[in-house]
Structure 1
Amino acid sequence: MSTDSAEPIIHTCQRCGACCRWEGNVCLTNEDITAIAAYLQMDEVTFINELCHLQRNRRGLSLIDAPDGACIMLQPDNTCRIQPVKPRQCRDFPHKWNFPGWENRCPGFGKKGDSEA
């Protein structure tokens, strides 16, 4: 996973949902869990039991995947069900963290404009 790059990343989200379909965990902070559960009008225990799983390394919780492997919060129109409270990991991508090859799969890479997704 890359973090701080020497040059600023030029990226404008195209709302294509590609990043929501990539393999890997959507890691949740305690703040994410509280905010998402409240947004979905669920208590935290129910949210964790129904929409989260323990990461393989047993160091935290992640959102479960949809049957097709996409994020469980990705809707058919490529919008995020929890956009106003999406996890820190999602808010930080790709400017604060990314991984090798992401720019080849993201149509927003290299596009100037509003980079907030």
Structure 2
Amino acid sequence: MLKALSVFERSSCACSQCRQTCRSGKPGCLAPSDVDHIAEYIGLDEASDEFIRKSFQACVDGPRTAVADFPDGETPAIRPRVRKDGSCIFLGPDDECLIHPVAPFECGRVDACDPASGAAAMKRLGSEIAGSRDYVMLWKWLLDQQNGITA
């Protein structure tokens, strides 16, 4: 899975328009392997339930693709949590990304100042999400956590 996504180069753009999504209440969508990479980058041996619960949120606004478990067209997306002001929890006080080298797939591969640049990357991400049972299961677990449902 990761190999299919690694063909897309990381963005080097850090213009104010690209950073706007970090403050918009809708940080970038994660690829299936991003949670583990972020946990490792911040020094965790593994992505614990607590880390995942505190750091990420389940959304239904992922890259549009056919996902059998979501016939209504809602596409699962795991995104970083946001603060009360709508900013990404990984956004530092000077508008710098605290996890930039391992930022979520959408953050690192799609330039907001050039929307066409990320279309192919997001289409491929949608396919990867649709094909990742682990991603969908983690998304469902996060959604249950957000709704106060515990197993």
Q: If the TM-score is normalised by the length of the shorter chain, which range does it land in?
A: 0.5 to 0.7
**Cα distance change of structure 1 residues 13 and 36 upon mapping to structure 2, 3 Å threshold:** same
Higher helix share: 2
Partner of 2:56: 52
Paired-residue identity, %: 26
Give the alignment's Cα RMSD to 1 decimal: 2.4
Deviations 1:10-44 (A, max 9, x none): x9433673231124253212211110011112321
TM-score, structure 1 as length reference? 0.61
The one of the two structures with greater contact order (alpha-carbon pairs below 8 A, sep at least 6) is: 1
Taking the TM superposition and a 5 Å limit, the aligned residue runs for 1:19-98 are 19-42=21-44, 43-45=46-48, 46-56=50-60, 57=74, 59-94=76-111, 95-97=117-119
Output the CA distance in 2 between the equivalents of 1:87 and 1:54.
14
Number of aligned pairs? 87
- Asked if the contact 1:27/1:87 (under 8 Å) is kept, the reply is yes
Paired AA for residue 68 in structure 1: D
User: C-alpha distance in 2, partners of 1:41/1:67?
Assistant: 26
Distance 2:33 2:102 in 1: 10
* Partners of 1:76 and 1:70 in 2: CA distance: 10
TM-score, length of structure 2 as denominator length: 0.49
5+ unaligned residues in a row in structure 1: which ranges? 1-10, 98-117
- Aligned residue number for residue 15 of structure 2: 14
The alignment partner of 2:79 has SS state of strand
